[in-house]
């Protein structure tokens, strides 16, 4: 195990295409960090710099306190799991997992011991004689993970390892990765665009946008107190409702292109008065048939025991997430106008309209 430090790391392609402007991050020994963000945000570039597959333009990356900027990938003591399994089709599971150790001239006994141990952790012991074509997608990904485990590296790197799997397998593999980390407790960096993976796997998460770390924190911190409108709109399924508003001195809220909201002035802090802001409300913190915000209903989605009610307030879309039972007595129809409220001050979030930064 080792620490992993990013010290004012910057990545520029050519003379002007800046992918990572500047990022600093300390990953503790044994910590599981997830980097999450949309395609093109720089998360894979960051991981490839750790692996030595991309050069660092400026700053330092240190593993176990040792700067690795100019070390070859093989000298960094890391192991990487890719989204494509990259298994040798003509080799058995055992041979695939043992290949890296064989190249590094480990003894047969050491290879046998390490592969058997990794196979037991990943429940592959009964599959060691099979070839990749005889395995399911989830089993192949476990073999790829096993190949990384036998290396016993200082740092594990996961580059969207579950993106090629179907939804059911992704849930199963998330559990496998959690169990693996609990047993091995190896410092891990995991890249994904899937916020559900990020929320369920991370001890801390880094939400990236255009190469900038918008927020670094635990999943609870990021969900409960998003630092920017980008984070609020990216983390959460469905994402936070954001209404552009003008807030008066007396606490009255006028939605841009919409109505004056009937929200108690006690719920409007002094820090947002006399300002143009975004008011944020999580879909699950909305109260039906309560005075506050008038919505024009556009669509109702039934998701088993839950439902998503899509509406509009002025020019802004608005989503409510609630149990199906909540509207069984008074069904909500498309085209209907309804009133909804908020679960007190805890359900409200405020962001500066120009910068998108959270207002406490």
Q: Is the pTM of this model over 0.75?
A: yes
What are the tens digits of pLDDT across the range 234-259? 999 899 999 999 999 999 999 998 89
The confidence band for 348, taking pLDDT boundaries of 50, 70 and 90, is: very high
Residue 360 has pLDDT above 90, yes or no: no
**Comma-separated ranges of CATH 3.40.50.300 domains in the chain:** 4-229
CATH of 241-352, one of 1.10.760.10, 2.40.50.140, 3.40.50.410, 2.40.10.10: 2.40.50.140
Q: Are the C-beta atoms of residues 291 and 339 closer than 8 Å to each other?
A: yes
C-alpha span between 85 and 236 (Å, rounded): 29
Q: Are the C-beta atoms of residues 30 and 187 closer than 8 Å to each other?
A: yes
**Comma-separated ranges of CATH 2.40.50.140 domains in the chain:** 241-352
- How confident is the model at residue 329, as a pLDDT? 83
What are the tens digits of pLDDT across the range 173-184? 888 889 889 888
Q: Are the C-beta atoms of residues 350 and 226 closer than 8 Å to each other?
A: no
The answer to whether domain 4-229 has CATH 3.40.50.300 is: yes
The contacts of residue 330 (CB under 8 Å, 6+ apart) are 289
What are the tens digits of pLDDT across the range 23-57? 999 999 999 999 999 988 999 999 999 999 999 99
Give the angle subtended at the CA of 110 by the CAs of 185 and 108, to the nearest 5°.
150
């Amino acid at each position: 195990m080792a620490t992993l430090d990013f010290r004012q790391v910057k990545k520029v392609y050519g003379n002007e295409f800046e992918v990572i402007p500047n990022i600093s991050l300390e990953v503790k020994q044994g910590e599981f960090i997830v980097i999450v963000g949309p395609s093109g945000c720089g998360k894979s570039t960051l991981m490839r710099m750790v692996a030595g597959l991309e050069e660092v333009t400026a700053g330092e990356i240190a593993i176990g306190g040792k700067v690795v900027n100019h070390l070859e990938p093989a000298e960094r003591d890391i192991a990487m799991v890719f989204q494509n399994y990259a298994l040798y089709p003509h080799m058995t599971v055992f041979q695939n997992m043992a290949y890296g150790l064989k190249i590094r001239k480990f003894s047969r006994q050491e290879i046998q011991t390490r592969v058997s141990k990794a196979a037991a952790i990943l429940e592959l012991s009964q599959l060691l004689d099979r070839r990749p074509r005889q395995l399911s997608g989830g089993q192949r990904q476990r073999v790829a993970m096993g190949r990384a485990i036998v290396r016993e590296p200082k740092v594990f790197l996961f580059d969207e390892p579950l993106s090629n799997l179907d939804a059911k397998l992704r849930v199963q593999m998330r559990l496998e990765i959690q169990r693996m980390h609990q047993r091995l407790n190896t410092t891990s960096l995991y890249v994904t665009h899937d916020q559900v993976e990020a929320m369920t796997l991370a001890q801390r998460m880094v939400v990236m946008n255009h190469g900038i770390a918008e927020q670094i924190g635990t999943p609870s911190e990021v969900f409960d107190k998003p630092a920017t409108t980008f984070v609020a709109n990216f983390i959460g399924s469905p994402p936070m409702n954001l209404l552009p508003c003008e807030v008066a001195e007396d606490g009255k809220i006028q939605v841009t292109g919409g109505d004056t909201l009937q929200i108690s002035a006690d719920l409007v802090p002094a820090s947002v008065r006399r300002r143009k802001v975004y008011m944020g409300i999580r879909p699950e913190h909305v109260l039906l048939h309560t005075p506050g915000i008038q919505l024009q209903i556009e669509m109702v989605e039934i998701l088993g025991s839950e439902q998503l009610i899509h509406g509009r307030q002025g020019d802004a879309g608005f989503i409510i997430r609630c149990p199906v039972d909540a509207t069984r007595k008074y069904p909500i129809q498309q085209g209907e106008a309804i009133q909804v409220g908020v679960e007190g001050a805890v359900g409200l979030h405020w962001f500066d309209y120009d910068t998108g930064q959270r207002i406490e």
